[in-house]
Structure 1
Amino acid sequence: MSQGRCSATFATAMMLCLLVLHSGVAEAATYRVGGAGGWTFNTVSWPAGKRFRAGDTLVFSYSPAVHNVVAVNKAGYDTCTVPPGSKVYRTGNDQIKVGKGANFFICSIPGHCQSGMKIAVIV
């Protein structure tokens, strides 16, 4: 009889642990960069007021004939230059997961980054 009660108590404790663990896990969010207008000029302030988490997905929607997305470091972001080895996206519907820390993206078409086509996402 006591073995049955112990098994039931153990099962209940396991269920509670699983519930607590599951409720503590935040689901990743998906953000369309630039909102309804997509990835375009003057998006530099788009991240303001948003709370990003590691694993969130940024969707860059744009015309690949006119723009691109380049993941750069802070120096590349600040100077609107593409450091060697930077990842360049060109699909027009790029989905990029952000990592913990600072994530920097620019459009490398001449003049576009200087016109505000860049974002810094801090996770």
Structure 2
Amino acid sequence: MASSKIMMMVAVIAIVSVCVPSTVAQTSHTVGDTFGWNVTNDGSVTYTNWAARQTFAVGDTLVFNFTTGFHDVAEVSQAAFGPCTITNPISNDPNGPATITLSTAGNHYYICTFGRHCSLGQKLSITVAASNSTTPSPANSASSFSAVVPITFLAAALAFFH
């Protein structure tokens, strides 16, 4: 009798673990929020202020909303960022919207290579942390929920079979 209760408890835990996976929260950042990735009227202030309100971590994504053929997004070195040097970018995505996964910690620099867009302020500098150690935002509350649910089921199973 006791062994069948233990087998049932193990089965319940296994099913719950598979059905409700626990994951690390990753954030999708829409660059410029509703403004998108465009030439601004205030130079790079729009993107500097936007980045200051964000926390970036490895595994997060940047979504650059722009119209293909009018803008692009290129990752460049720090040396190329200041003077808006468009030759030899680290990467370049000409198709909007572009989604970039942040795969390394450290400073990352993005510019638009169309015309004078970068020199007019269409550029973004961010610092990416090695891991996201902050509490998930409400947009990521499903991740918190999925971590709590298996523990709740485990407690219920233990109470039921005890």
How many residues get paired? 107
1:34-57 deviations in Å (ceiling 9; x for gaps): 101211123343201211111110
SS of 2:49's equivalent?
A: coil
Corresponding position of 1:111: 116
Partner residue in 2 for 1:27: 25
Contact 2:73 2:112 survives alignment (8 Å): yes
Give the counterpart letter for 2:109 in structure 1: F
Check conservation: 1:44, 1:116, Cα contact below 8 A.
no
Q: Which runs of no fewer than 5 residues in structure 2 stay unpaired?
A: 7-12, 14-22, 41-46, 129-162
Tell me if 1:45 matches 2:49. Answer: yes
**Aligned counterparts of 2:116 and 2:60: Cα–Cα separation in 1:** 29
Alignment of 1:1-123 (within 5 A): 26-42=24-40, 43-98=47-102, 99-123=104-128
**Which one-letter code corresponds to 1:32 in the other structure?**
T
Q: Return 43-52 or 71-80, whichever deviates more.
A: 43-52
Q: Is there any run of 5+ residues in structure 1 with no aligned partner, and where?
A: 9-14, 16-24
Name the CA shift for 1:120/1:93 in 2 (closer, same or farther; >3 Å).
same
Secondary structure (helix, strand or coil) at the match of 1:59 reads: strand
Write out the 4+ residue segments of structure 1 that deviate beyond 3 Å after TM superposition: none
TM-score by length of 2: 0.58
Counting aligned pairs with the same residue, the percent is 28
Q: Which amino acid aligns with 2:30?
A: R
Please tell me the root mean square deviation across aligned C-alpha atoms, in Å: 2.4
Q: Counterpart amino acid of 1:59?
A: V
Cα deviation, residue 122, structure 1: 0.3
What CA distance in whole angstroms lies between the structure 1 residues aligned with 2:87 and 2:49?
A: 23
Amino acid at match of 2:39: F
Amino acid at match of 1:55: G
| Residue equivalent to 2:134 | none
User: Where is the strand percentage greater, Structure 1 or Structure 2?
Assistant: 1
Structure showing greater Rg: 2
